[in-house]
Amino acid sequence: MEDKLKQLKTILAEISDLEYAVFLLAWDQQTYMPPAGAEERGQQIGTLNKLAHRRFTSDEVGKLLDELAPAVAQLPPDSDEARLIKVTRRKYEQYTKVPSEMIVELAELTSIAFSVWQQARPENNFAKFQPYLEKIVDNRRRYAELFAPYDHIYDPLLDRYEPGMKTAQVQAIFNQLRPQQVELIQAISAKPQVDDSFLHQAYNGQKQWDFGVEVITKFGYPWNRGRQDKAAHPFTTEMGLNDVRITTRILPEYIGSALFSTMHECGHALYDLGIDPALARTPLSNLASLALHESQSRMWENLVGRSLPFWEHFYPRLQEYFPAQLGNIDLWTFYKGINKVEPSLIRVEADEATYNLHIMLRLELEIALMEGSLQVKDLPEAWNSRMQEYLGVTPPNDSDGVLQDVHWSDGYIGYFSTYALGNLISLQLWERINADLPDLSEQIRHGEFSSLLGWLRENIHHHGAKYEAQEMVKRITGSEINPAAYMRYIKTKYGEIYGL
Amino acid sequence: MEDKLKQLKTILAEISDLEYAVFLLAWDQQTYMPPAGAEERGQQIGTLNKLAHRRFTSDEVGKLLDELAPAVAQLPPDSDEARLIKVTRRKYEQYTKVPSEMIVELAELTSIAFSVWQQARPENNFAKFQPYLEKIVDNRRRYAELFAPYDHIYDPLLDRYEPGMKTAQVQAIFNQLRPQQVELIQAISAKPQVDDSFLHQAYNGQKQWDFGVEVITKFGYPWNRGRQDKAAHPFTTEMGLNDVRITTRILPEYIGSALFSTMHECGHALYDLGIDPALARTPLSNLASLALHESQSRMWENLVGRSLPFWEHFYPRLQEYFPAQLGNIDLWTFYKGINKVEPSLIRVEADEATYNLHIMLRLELEIALMEGSLQVKDLPEAWNSRMQEYLGVTPPNDSDGVLQDVHWSDGYIGYFSTYALGNLISLQLWERINADLPDLSEQIRHGEFSSLLGWLRENIHHHGAKYEAQEMVKRITGSEINPAAYMRYIKTKYGEIYGL
**Nearest CA-CA distance, residue A46 and chain B, Å:** 9
> Would you call A37 and B239 a contact, using CB atoms and an 8 Å cutoff?
yes
Q: Does A222 touch chain B (CB under 8 A)?
A: yes
**Nearest CA-CA distance, residue A235 and chain B, Å:** 17
> Would you call A28 and B28 a contact, using CB atoms and an 8 Å cutoff?
yes
Section B334-341 average pLDDT: 97
CA-based nearest residue in chain A for residue B40: A240
Q: Mean pLDDT in chain A?
A: 96
Please report the residues numbered 15 through 34 in chain B whose beta carbons come closer than 8 angstroms to any beta carbon of chain A. Answer: 17-18, 20-21, 24-25, 28, 32-34
Going by pLDDT thresholds of 50, 70 and 90, the confidence category of residue A129 is very high
pLDDT in tens, A195-220: 999 999 999 999 999 999 999 999 99
> Would you call A47 and B226 a contact, using CB atoms and an 8 Å cutoff?
no
Residue in B24, B33, B47 nearest the CB of A14: B47
Residue in A24, A225, A280 nearest the CB of B28: A24
CB-CB contact of B284 with B464 (8 Å): yes
Question: CB-based burial of residue A192 (10 Å sphere; 0-12 exposed, 13-18 middle, 19+ buried)?
Answer: exposed
pLDDT of residue A366 exceeding 90, the answer is yes
pLDDT in tens, A19-51: 999 999 999 999 999 999 999 999 999 999 999
Residue in A48, A51, A243 nearest the CB of B40: A243
Element (H, E) at A248: strand A244-248
Residues A262 and A207: their CA atoms lie apart, in Å, by 13
pLDDT at position B73 is 87
pLDDT in tens, B396-417: 999 999 999 999 999 999 999 9
H helix runs in A162-231, sequence order: 167-189, 205-219
Chain B residues in contact with A281 (beta carbon < 8 A): 43
pLDDT at position B104 is 87
Element (H, E) at B244: strand B244-248
Going by pLDDT thresholds of 50, 70 and 90, the confidence category of residue B137 is very high
pLDDT in tens, B156-165: 999 999 999 9
pLDDT at position B373 is 97
Please confirm, yes or no, whether A265 is among the known catalytic residues: yes
Q: Which residues pair with B229 in a beta bridge?
A: B247
pLDDT in tens, A154-176: 999 999 999 999 999 999 999 99
Section A122-128 average pLDDT: 97
pLDDT of residue B288 exceeding 80, the answer is no
Between chain A and chain B, the number of residue pairs with CB atoms below 8 A apart is 119
> Would you call A239 and B33 a contact, using CB atoms and an 8 Å cutoff?
yes
Residues A428 and A483: their CA atoms lie apart, in Å, by 8
Selection from A85, A4, A15 nearest residue A466 by Cα: A85
pLDDT of residue A242 exceeding 90, the answer is yes
Chain A residues in contact with B35 (beta carbon < 8 A): 224
pLDDT at position A71 is 87
In this structure, what DSSP letter does residue A246 have?
Answer: E
Q: Does B277 touch chain A (CB under 8 A)?
A: no
Q: Does B11 touch chain A (CB under 8 A)?
A: no
**Crossing angle of helices B484-498 and B417-436, rounded to 10°:** 80
Respond yes or no on whether the N-terminal peptide bond of residue B99 is cis (omega within 30° of 0). no
Q: Are strands A244-248 and A236-238 parallel, antiparallel or unpaired?
A: antiparallel
pLDDT in tens, B194-248: 999 999 999 999 999 999 999 999 999 999 999 999 998 899 999 999 999 999 9
Residues B392 and A69: their CA atoms lie apart, in Å, by 73
Chain B residues in contact with A39 (beta carbon < 8 A): 242
Section A268-282 average pLDDT: 97
Which distant-in-sequence residues (6+ apart) come within 8 Å of A359 by Cβ?
A347, A416, A417, A419, A420
CB-CB contact of A262 with A216 (8 Å): yes
Give this complex's ipTM.
Answer: 0.94
CB-CB contact of B132 with B113 (8 Å): yes
pLDDT in tens, A386-409: 999 999 999 999 999 999 999 999
pLDDT at position B286 is 86
Chain B residues in contact with A13 (beta carbon < 8 A): 43, 47
Residue in B35, B39, B241 nearest the CB of A224: B35
CB-CB contact of B275 with B462 (8 Å): yes
Residue in A17, A40, A241 nearest the CB of B48: A17
> Would you call A47 and B13 a contact, using CB atoms and an 8 Å cutoff?
yes
CA-based nearest residue in chain A for residue B24: A25
Respond yes or no on whether the N-terminal peptide bond of residue B34 is cis (omega within 30° of 0). no
pLDDT at position A353 is 93
**Nearest CA-CA distance, residue B160 and chain A, Å:** 26
Residue in A32, A43, A227 nearest the CB of B17: A43
CB-CB contact of B37 with B78 (8 Å): no
DSSP A466-496: SS-HHHHHHHHHSS-S-SHHHHHHHHHHHHH
Chain B residues in contact with A48 (beta carbon < 8 A): 17-18, 21
pLDDT at position B1 is 82
pLDDT at position A287 is 78
pLDDT of residue B491 exceeding 80, the answer is yes
**Nearest CA-CA distance, residue A217 and chain B, Å:** 15
Going by pLDDT thresholds of 50, 70 and 90, the confidence category of residue A476 is very high
> Would you call B47 and A225 a contact, using CB atoms and an 8 Å cutoff?
no
Given the residues A19, A265, A352, A366, select the one marked as catalytic: A265
Please report the residues numbered 199 through 218 in chain A whose beta carbons come closer than 8 angstroms to any beta carbon of chain B. Answer: none
User: Phi and psi of A125, rounded to 5°?
Assistant: -125, 80
Residues A494 and A187: their CA atoms lie apart, in Å, by 10
3-state secondary structure of A414: coil
Going by pLDDT thresholds of 50, 70 and 90, the confidence category of residue A73 is confident
Q: Could you tell me the pTM of the whole model?
A: 0.95
> Would you call B43 and A281 a contact, using CB atoms and an 8 Å cutoff?
yes
Q: Does A41 touch chain B (CB under 8 A)?
A: yes
Annotate B312-354 with three-state secondary structure: HHHHHHHHHHCHHHHCCCCHHHHHHHHCCCCCCCCHHHCCCCC
pLDDT of residue B349 exceeding 90, the answer is no
